[in-house]
Amino acid sequence: MWAWERLKQAPEDFAPFFGIAAAELLRQLANQERLYESATDKPSEIAKNRLRALVENASRSVPELLREIAKMETQKQRGEVKEIADRLQDFIRDWRAEA
């Protein structure tokens, strides 16, 4: 899942959201992965449940986390969110040039 990978790739960026240190976030991510590794549900459901459990431990919500990740990706000019934003800007610029 996109969000999970972003958390693992840049824990120092997202640890403050959870109110913990980056090393602790990595530990929690690893714990959730171990906890769900033998789950028999669909992979997408397992990913959602892992993320939900992680954010609930910090008294946050999944939508809050996804907004934080998107905001950070945009601010840092990286990741899929940046690619989408760049394509949207290109589309708007092309549309304005045609008008």
36 or 83: which leads in pLDDT: 36
Please check the confidence at residue 84 and state whether its pLDDT lies above 80: no
Q: What is the pLDDT of residues 28-81, one digit of tens each?
A: 999 999 999 888 899 889 989 999 999 998 999 999 999 999 888 878 776 666
| pLDDT confidence bin for 94, thresholds 50/70/90 | confident
Burial of 62 (0-12, 13-18, 19+ CB in 10 A): middle
Q: What is the per-residue pLDDT for 91?
A: 86
Q: Among all chains, which residue has been given the structure tokens 């990740």?
A: 69
Mean pLDDT computed over 17-34? 96
Gap between the Cα atoms of 79 and 62, Å rounded: 19
Q: Where are the domains of the chain?
A: 2-98
Q: What is the mean pLDDT of residues 5-30?
A: 96
Number of H helices and E strands in the chain, helices first, is 6, 0
pLDDT of res. 76: 77
